[in-house]
């Protein structure tokens, strides 16, 4: 479960007071990785010498009174589909395993400008396609709370690294729940920002209209701190929003101090509280609902009637966009190449050897739904239903301030338990609609499944650009006993 003491804001106080140096902190993290990551497998790779050099530079700045921010010298893990200058960015795929990034993602640049230290490359489902981290072409990542179980995906390495205490925070990416679901499985906090709130420049694209970079942390305040830093308009990303970025951390601290939800209307979508929930998950969610009431929140029944189509819509739109985005990985311009007799054969063999089965499955499906004769029947219709899903959320938010739902139907499952792709896809049934609508959401722990002892997550969803309210509410919920 989340370590409430290993947080960005707590470490910042220790660094400020001189009780801790960045060198000591980074050495502690490296020692933890060396001791335990052989069993967990969160990291694809990390450069200990580079990390320690950056830590020493941070300590020198702080000693001279020139710290870049309160967070200067704090390490942060980076998912392996987010670029960092001079480091490989393989997306946990054989086709990109030797590709070195010539530039950093905008989100990474914003963090390093504040003195954060990029700490290694974190494992993931190949090209972010998966819900368990079992689709990585590099290695298997285990849930630190029970290594016989998956950490979730696709940001499984990021979730595992935070939950294991290797780093106080990590960046992940969320296309259909890939931050929130592993956060729930590993008992930490994960945020999917409003679409366009955070630049996608430097994030290797899976589905461009759905992807978002977001933080994974031990508490809501840390997620708010990181969200404030990485949000904002970016000229390198035409889909980033030119909107003012409120002080999310201040909102979270207000909520944590107040520990009250008085005056807050919390909507419960009836479609999310179904017979498909495992008994342990339902029990903990019922307790969470009672907690909201005890804190003064008003429970409101709402409906998202078109959410039953969300999984279908997602796997049409996401695969269609993936088919287009992954066409660039052809063995010609960069990445692994398998030499063959002619150009077409080189394409086939390079992509056949470089991509894993799940990636191939999604490329084929996406190519099919975009093909002549099927575009109108599938892709165009899915876009129309997407509009209806967005409308459902808009109407629900007219009746409440925030929505509260399960994150997953069950807790983290055992390796190999969902070998059927359709079973795996349904793991994201409660998270996908948020990406389709473009609104923001947060997953946080709300209890423990009595049978397995694994964490249960609760999801809060807020309107477009309402992260400030989201952080205030969730911090109040998390701080109250």
Residues tagged active-site:
79, 154, 178
Which residues does 31 contact at the CB level (< 8 Å), separation at least 6? none
Whole-Å CA distances, 152 to 131, 175, 193: 5, 14, 19
d(CA 252, CA 273): 27
Name 216's bridge partners. 170, 190
d(CA 259, CA 262): 9
Which residues does 205 contact at the CB level (< 8 Å), separation at least 6? 211, 321, 325
What are the backbone dihedrals phi and psi of residue 217, each rounded to the nearest 5 degrees, phi first?
-145, 180
Asked if residues 139 and 178 have their Cβ atoms less than 8 Å apart, the reply is no
User: In a 3-state reduction of DSSP, which class is residue 421?
Assistant: helix
Q: Report CA dihedral (177, 183, 186, 187) to the nearest 10 degrees.
A: -130
Q: Provide the CB-side half-sphere exposure for 400 (13 A, CA).
A: 25
Which residues does 167 contact at the CB level (< 8 Å), separation at least 6? 29, 75, 76, 77, 119, 161
Asked if residues 107 and 215 have their Cβ atoms less than 8 Å apart, the reply is no
d(CA 119, CA 39): 19
d(CA 90, CA 81): 7
Region label for 18, one of left (φ > 0), alpha (ψ between -120 and 50) or beta (otherwise): left
d(CA 350, CA 454): 41
Alpha helices, DSSP H, located in 138-179: 156-163
Which residues does 158 contact at the CB level (< 8 Å), separation at least 6? 42, 77, 79, 122, 124, 170, 171, 172, 179, 182, 216
How many CB atoms are located within 10 Å of the residue 256 CB?
21
- Burial label, 97 (beta-carbon count in 10 A; 0-12, 13-18, 19+): middle
């Amino acid at each position: 479960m989340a370590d409430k003491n290993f947080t960005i804001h707590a470490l910042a106080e220790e660094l400020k007071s001189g009780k801790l140096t960045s060198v000591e902190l980074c050495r502690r993290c490296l020692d933890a990785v060396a001791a335990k990551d052989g069993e967990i497998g969160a990291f694809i790779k990390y450069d200990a010498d580079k990390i320690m050099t950056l830590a020493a530079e941070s300590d020198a700045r702080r000693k001279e009174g020139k710290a870049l921010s309160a967070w200067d010298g704090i390490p942060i893990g980076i998912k392996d589909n987010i670029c960092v200058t001079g480091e490989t960015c393989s997306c946990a795929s054989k086709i990109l395993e030797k590709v070195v990034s010539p530039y950093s993602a905008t989100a990474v640049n914003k963090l390093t400008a504040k003195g954060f230290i990029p700490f290694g490359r974190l494992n993931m489902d190949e090209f972010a396609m998966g819900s368990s981290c079992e689709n990585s072409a590099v290695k298997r990542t285990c849930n630190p709370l029970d290594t016989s179980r998956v950490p979730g995906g696709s940001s499984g390495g990021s979730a595992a690294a935070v939950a294991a205490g290797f780093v106080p925070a990590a960046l992940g990416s969320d296309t259909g729940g890939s931050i929130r679901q592993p956060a729930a499985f590993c008992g930490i906090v994960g945020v999917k920002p409003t679409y366009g709130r955070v630049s996608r420049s430097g994030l290797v694209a899976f589905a461009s209209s759905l992807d978002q970079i977001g933080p994974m942390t031990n508490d809501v305040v840390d997620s708010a701190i990181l969200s404030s830093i990485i949000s904002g308009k970016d000229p390198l990303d035409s889909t980033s929003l030119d909107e003012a970025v409120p002080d999310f951390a201040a909102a979270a601290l207000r909520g944590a101090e107040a520990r009250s939800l008085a005056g807050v209307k919390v909507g419960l979508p009836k479609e999310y509280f179904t017979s498909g929930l495992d008994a342990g998950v339902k029990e903990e969610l019922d307790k969470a609902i009672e907690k909201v009431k005890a804190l003064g929140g008003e429970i409101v029944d709402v409906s998202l009637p078109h959410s039953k189509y969300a999984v279908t819509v997602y796997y049409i739109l996401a695969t269609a966009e993936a088919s287009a985005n992954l066409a660039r990985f052809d063995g010609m311009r960069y990445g692994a190449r398998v030499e063959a007799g002619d150009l077409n054969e080189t394409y086939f063999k390079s992509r056949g050897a470089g991509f894993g089965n799940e990636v191939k499955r999604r490329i084929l499906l996406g190519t099919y739904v975009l093909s002549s004769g099927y575009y109108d029947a599938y892709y165009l219709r899915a876009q129309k239903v997407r509009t209806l899903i967005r409308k459902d959320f808009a109407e629900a938010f007219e009746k409440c301030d925030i929505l509260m739902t399960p994150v997953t139907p069950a807790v983290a499952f055992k390796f190999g338990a969902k070998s059927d792709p359709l079973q795996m896809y349904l793991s994201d049934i409660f998270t996908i609609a948020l990406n389709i609508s473009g609104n923001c959401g947060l997953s946080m722990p709300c209890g423990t499944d009595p049978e397995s002892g694994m964490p249960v997550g609760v999801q809060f969803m807020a309107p477009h650009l309402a992260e400030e309210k989201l952080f205030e509410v969730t911090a109040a919920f998390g701080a109250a006993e």
